[in-house]
Structure 1
Amino acid sequence: MSFFRNRSIVARGAEGAKGNDVWLDNDDLRPLKLDDRTWTNNTYLTFWFSAAATVSNWYGASAAQALGLSMWESLACSLGGQLLIAIVITANGRAGAVYHIGFPILNRASFGIYGAWWPTFNRAVMAMVWNGVNAVQGGQCVYVMLHAIFPSIARIRNTMGPGSALTSAGMIGFVIFWLITCLFLVIPVPKMRVLVYAKLVVFVVSAFAMLGWCVGRAGGLGPVASHGSTVHGSEKAWLILRFLMLGAANCATFASNAADFQRYTKKPNGVILGNLLGFPVANLMVGLIGNIVGASSQNIFGELVWNPLDLLDRFQTTNYTPANRAGCFFIALMFVYCAIFSSIFENSLPAGNDLAALFPKYITIRIGFFICAVVSFALNPWYLLGSASIFVSFLASYQIFLSAITGVLLCNYYLVARGYLEIPDLFTSSKSGAYYFYHGWNFRAYIAYIIGVIPNFYGFLNNMGVGAPISVTRFYYFAYWVGLIVSAGVYWLLCKLSPVPVSYNSGWKEPKDYIRPDEQVLDGQALEDLEGSISLQTKQMPAEKVKDLQDLPS
């Protein structure tokens, strides 16, 4: 990386992007400043507990039980898949941890300065849709709380129609949840550490309270844990394989946009333990509680109630006592707090990064947060969930597109660029830029992306309702890994046949930690710590010569 080019991005930042580059640059998109790098391994450990503690994870963990696996088999499948995807999350977020840039900017290194717009737009739309879906679940949590306080809310006449997942009373909860989430969006992300820690305390207390409540009503843990599987032979083997793969594929969004939250780390290695340990352990704890609570419902009501919100409301509806109402209120409050952070970190933050990258002249990450909130409301997500189950299947199947993008990003960073990114060139449309490729588009990445999707597309259609042989259905269980490996392999081959400007055949080129040129202190130990942030030639110069270069005007 040229020392002069490193300094030029600072000059552009000070003056504001001009000309064609106005669509590529603003301060939110550039590598984070040192003061904004506040997250540590402990933060990421806590973050994953916060992210995992959601309504969908509670009932998603017990979904395998509903199809015939035992509670313990369901847990083992989830844990195995999440251990695998934790590796992908850590690996794909490495560029964010080292260079402190987000997913949209990382896309430019692989897909090109303009080619990055498609995967970025793609993910922005999905983030806004999922934000609406999460808000519906959050609204249901608020409704349980309101029902605990105001019993008359259950008697409000429903005018929403049969296609809605929310009643008129549920819509009150949705609006309240949406407004509360918008209030949290004004807090700078680096400053959310305390709130993330607080959420862990809230989750532990409330989750174990619900666990104890359900197990007590079910007659103890013994009867609950003794439920065996109801499937056998090859059917059971394929079911185990299916949910093992789903344990990974369901987290495809985290794997693709890992750079968005790993960019906040103080040190590049400060995310590794938090991801590899925190992610699977957090999901295991939530899955364990969710499975036990789901299994308890069989003993309590004679049927599996795998949605904890339905279970809570059923508790207070069947026995509307002050104790039951208080218990439902506080547990639902925990779900609300969890849903807020799920909305922010899984949807608002990615959408904000993406929208800021698509329209940097007009949109900052903060403005992107609120655009995401408004659009997710305008989509009427309560109708999406209530009237079109195939739409939800489509969202769940989106793994095949995300895995193909992730495969290209991983291959480019580890096998092609060898950990080296020319940071200034990620923010310029100059034809001499390393990531301009062909008119701003990298055809190699797009060919790899399309070929990575093709093997899974029939299974994707089958998952949406199109008839297909059982072999296609079973092949689709491996869709995420097929897309990831195929797209990465094709991209590597194309880069061998037609090398990209930033590529190396040997040696690891990653710096220890990238620091913005305007924050570099070029003396003694600081130079050593900034290895990789300036060119090898500059680092090898005498100290006097380096100081001369530093004193040059921008």
Structure 2
Amino acid sequence: MGIRGLLKRLEVKPTDDEFESIETSRWGNKDVYPIPHDKRTYGWLAFYAYWGTCGISLSSWTIGSSLIGIGLTAGQACAVVVIGCIIASLSAYLNGAPGAIHHLGYGTLARAAFGLWGSYFVVMLNVFQSFIFYGTQMYFGGMAFVIILNSIFPSFLALPNTLPDNAGITTPQLIGFVLFIILYFPVIYFIPPHVVQRYLIANLVVSSATLLGIMGWAVHANGGAGDLVAPAIKVPPSQIGFLMVQGITSIAGTYTGGSDRVSDWTRYARSRHAPTLAQLTALPLTVTLVALIGIITTSATAQMFGEVQWNPVIMLQSIQQSYYTAACRAGTFFAGLGLLSVTVFINYTQNCVSSGMDVAMLVPRWVSRRRGSIIFSILGVLANPWRFLTQASTFITVLSSFGVFLSPAASILVVDFWIVRKCKWNIPDLYSPGGIYWFYNGLNWRAFTAYILGMVWALPGFVMAVGGPIVSDSWYHLFQV
């Protein structure tokens, strides 16, 4: 068999559904065309489970650390979280409409605005961001496995590290990471998006019980909630307003990363309005509650242990080192299972499978959603993702500031769909070179001009933040917000 024959055999095959007559092509396959009726399975509860999975996560738990770290009180931090999540929820509604109306995903939204070739730029921005966060979640999943193994095997708790310091990971953590891979790969391979909602609903119950249980134990063991973690630094009252605005934009940016691409999931909706209520209410509710739980738990454990630890995974490992009783082993075992569930499904919905859908948009002739997810996952493992958490501060600043590049693109997609297109698409042209979305050689120069004009104002402050020349305070503050 020659190379041409091999490539032909590797092409994504059409499925036995209403779109069977549409062959796989350079611009589309069964995972890129509109979702068929039998896979439109998401009702209102499924979308609450989706957004609850996003909100009830380790990121939400630790979000108080960043806000208290810049000088806000616990009350101010909660207010910032609510407002930031309301903004992210509005973004979710606006970005989710194409999926609910046309049953098409994020990549086609980018094609309509930037052109068939121009959409590659927008899609790759999101894939790169997801790649980094996928790796960190994989690392946290491995640490959750360490908690479980510590609780079962006393010998594992005492297992020495045999790896060099420059490895960036210990022997127990590497074992936990490998076990997480063994668990995770079958999940993304055998559970398609149109049936995952039943697992998301179960995860919502498990994750809620886990985080509430950790908080309840900490408050009970400490005899109270502590001082609710006073602000890390004292700031003049005149700066509080700016810090709150900075915090609001930071929260909004954190959660609009998922809302930008939510049409990948709303396309599975049973009806036009099935996602609406969850999109508008779930994030403010869950993120605020989990952030408050994180603040209370950290406050209580800080009073107990004399140090502030915002990461619950590391906190539980410290508890095992200090209180290795039968009750501690049982409690941390179930807490580890809950955190493992949280990590598996937050990575499934927000990073891995979404990016698999995006990769399928890039090479639809040979890459399906499942193949894209596997490719993305394998590359994420080969990148040694634990190093993402041990890199220089400049690298971390680049990642946390990536919204500078994503936000203008997201704004253009929303304006194009709602105002320019008035929610209407010529769907066949989304897959046709020479159609109305071809623009000039597959690129919409107007969209790219708008993108540059929306992004360039934050670049001086961004360059300074990553170690470049010092700029004026006004330029840096513009970057911060």
Fold equivalence (TM over 0.5):
yes
Distance 2:467 2:298 in 1: 28
Farther-moved stretch of structure 1 (262-271 vs 228-237): 228-237
Match of 2:383 among 379, 383, 396: 379
Q: Comparing 381-390 with 310-319, which one deviates more in the overlay?
A: 381-390
Question: Residue 339 of structure 2 corresponds to which residue in structure 1?
Answer: 335
Task: Extract unaligned runs of 5+ from structure 1.
Answer: 1-9, 479-554
**Separation in structure 1 between the aligned mates of residue 161 and residue 347 of structure 2, nearest angstrom:** 27
Q: Which amino acid aligns with 2:216?
A: G
| Structure 2 counterpart of 1:187, from 172, 181, 191 | 191
Secondary structure of the 1:191 match is coil
Compute the displacement of 1:225 (Å).
4.2
Give distance in 2, aligned partners of 1:226 and 1:362.
52
The Cα shift of 1:472 comes to 2.9
Change beyond 3 A, Cα 1:55–1:434: same
Indicate the SS of the match to 1:166: coil
Query: Quick one: structure 1 residues 387 and 131, their matched pair in 2 at CA, closer, same or farther if it must change by over 3 Å?
Result: same
Match in the other structure for 1:361: 365
Equivalent position of 2:316 in the other structure: 312
Question: Residues 309, 12 of structure 1: CA spacing in aligned structure 2 closer, same or farther, 3 A cutoff?
Answer: closer
Partners in 2 of 1:184 and 1:61 — Cα distance? 31
Aligned to 1:137: 140
Do the aligned residues in 1 keep the contact of 2:89 with 2:280 (CA within 8 Å)? yes
| 201-210 vs 234-243, greater mean Cα deviation | 234-243
Does 1:74 pair with 2:77?
yes
- Rounded to whole Å, the distance in 1 between the matches of 2:219 and 2:305 is 13
* Partner AA of 1:183 in structure 2: P
TM-score (norm 1): 0.80
Deviation at 1:143, TM superposition (A): 1.1
Change (3 A) 1:228 1:26: closer
| CA distance 1:326–1:417, change in 2 (3 Å) | same
Structure 1 residues 311-320 or 232-241, which shifts more?
A: 232-241
Residues in 2 aligned to 1:463 and 1:195: alpha-carbon distance in whole angstroms = 41
Aligned counterpart in structure 2 of residue 455 of structure 1, from 431, 454, 457: 457
Secondary structure of the equivalent of 1:190? coil
Residue 183 (structure 1) shift: 1.4
What is the aligned partner in structure 2 of residue 45 from structure 1? 48
Aligned residues: 462
Give the corresponding residue for 2:153: 150
**Residue identity in the other structure for 2:21:** A
Among candidates 325, 328, 348, match of residue 321 of structure 1: 325
Letter in 2 for 1:16: E
For residue 531 of structure 1, what is the aligned residue in structure 2? none
> Matched residues in 1 for 2:227 and 2:199: separation?
34
Amino acid corresponding to residue 310 of structure 1 in structure 2? I
Asked whether the equivalents of residues 408 and 451 of structure 2 are also in contact (C-alpha less than 8 Å), the reply is yes
Name the residue aligned to 1:215.
219
Partner SS, residue 472 of structure 1: helix
Q: Distance in 2 between matches of 1:130 and 1:277?
A: 24
1:446-471 CA-to-partner distances (Å, cap 9, x unmatched) read 11112211011122223323344433
SS in 2 for 1:14: coil
Of 421, 424, 439, the residue aligned with 1:420 is: 424
Partner of 1:400 in structure 2?
404
Q: 1:74: Cα distance to partner? A: 1.3
Could you list the per-position Cα deviations for residues 178-225 of structure 1 after superposition, in whole angstroms to 9, with x for gaps in the alignment? 22111111111111121111111112221211111011122224x444
Alpha-carbon offset, residue 169 of structure 1: 1.1
Q: Secondary structure at the match of 2:195?
A: helix
Overall identity of the aligned pairs, in %:
28
Cα distance between partner residues in 1 of 2:381 and 2:217: 35
Matched to 1:472, the amino acid is W
User: CA–CA distance in 1 between the matches of 2:82 and 2:168?
Assistant: 30
Q: Report the 3-state secondary structure (helix = DSSP H, G, I; strand = E; otherwise coil) of the residue aligned with 1:454.
A: helix
Structure with the greater alpha carbon radius of gyration:
1
Specify the alignment match of 2:21 in structure 1: 14
Is the CA contact 2:68–2:230 (under 8 Å) kept in the aligned structure 1?
A: no
1:94 equivalent in structure 2: 97
Structure 1's 137 and 12: CA in aligned 2 closer, same or farther, altered over 3 A? closer
TM-superposed deviation, 1:16: 1.5
1:355-385 CA-to-partner distances (Å, cap 9, x unmatched) read 1111111110011111111010011111222
1:21-40 Cα offsets, whole Å, 9 max, x none, are x2201111011111111112
Deviates more, 1:31-40 or 1:463-472: 463-472
Separation in structure 1 between the aligned mates of residue 164 and residue 247 of structure 2, nearest angstrom? 34
Shift of 1:104: 0.9
User: What residue number does 1:291 align with?
Assistant: 295
Give 3-state SS (helix, strand or coil) of 1:62's partner: helix
Could you tell me which amino acid in structure 1 is paired with residue 459 of structure 2? F
The one-letter code of the counterpart of 2:95 is: N
Q: Secondary structure at the match of 1:23?
A: coil
- Structure 2 SS opposite 1:94: helix
Measured against aligned partners, the alpha-carbon deviations of 1:386-425 in whole angstroms (never above 9, x if no partner) come to: 1333222211111111111111101111111111100010
More displaced 10-residue stretch of structure 1: 396-405 or 238-247: 238-247
Instruction: Tell me if the contact between 1:103 and 1:259 (Cα under 8 Å) persists in the aligned partners.
Output: yes
- The aligned counterpart of 1:55 is 58
- Residues 504-551 of structure 1, C-alpha deviations (whole Å, 9 max, x = no match): xxxxxxxxxxxxxxxxxxxxxxxxxxxxxxxxxxxxxxxxxxxxxxxx
- From the superposition, tell whether residues 335 and 448 of structure 1 become closer, same or farther in structure 2 (CA, over 3 Å): same
Distance (Å, rounded) in 1 between the aligned partners of 2:166 and 2:414: 41
**The one of 392, 395, 398 aligned to 1:391:** 395
How do 1:467-546 and structure 2 match up within 5 A? 467-478=470-481
Q: Secondary structure at the match of 1:269?
A: coil
Determine if contact 2:18/2:36 at 8 Å carries over to the other structure: no
**Structure 1 residues 236 and 13, CA, compared in 2 at 3 Å: closer, same or farther?**
same
> Conserved in 2, the CA contact under 8 Å of 1:62 and 1:294?
no
Kept in 2: contact 1:127–1:347 (CA 8 A): yes
Q: 2:67 pairs with 45, 64, 68, which one?
A: 64
In structure 2, the gaps of 5 or more residues are 1-16
What is the rounded CA distance, in whole Å, between the counterparts of 2:471 and 2:35 in structure 1? 48
Q: Which of 239, 245, 260 is equivalent to 2:243?
A: 239
| Aligned 8 A contact 1:13 1:26 in 2 | no
**What is the CA–CA distance in structure 2 between the aligned matches of 1:49 and 1:211, rounded to whole Å?**
18
Q: State the TM-score, normalizing by the size of structure 2.
A: 0.91
2:161 aligned with 1:171: no
Select between 279-288 and 382-391 the one with higher mean Cα deviation.
Answer: 382-391
**Shift of residue 124 of structure 1?**
2.1
Aligned mates of 1:160, 1:435 — CA distance in 2: 53
What does the per-residue CA deviation read over 1:235-290, in whole Å, with 9 as the maximum and x for residues that have no partner?
43332222122111112311321211111111121111111011211111211111
For residues 322 and 175 of structure 1, the distance between their equivalents in structure 2, rounded to whole angstroms, comes to 27
Does the 8 A contact of 2:457 with 2:478 survive in 1?
A: no
Q: Which has the higher contact order (CA 8 A, sep 6+)?
A: 2
Deviations 1:433-490 (A, max 9, x none): 1111111111111111122110111222233233444333322232xxxxxxxxxxxx
Query: Does structure 1 retain, via aligned residues, the 8 Å contact 2:31–2:368?
Result: yes
1:89-108 deviation digits (Å, cap 9, x = unpaired): 11112111111111111111
Q: For residues 332-366 of structure 1, what are the alpha-carbon distances to aligned partners after superposition, in whole Å with 9 as ceiling and x for unaligned?
A: 21111010011111111221111111111111001
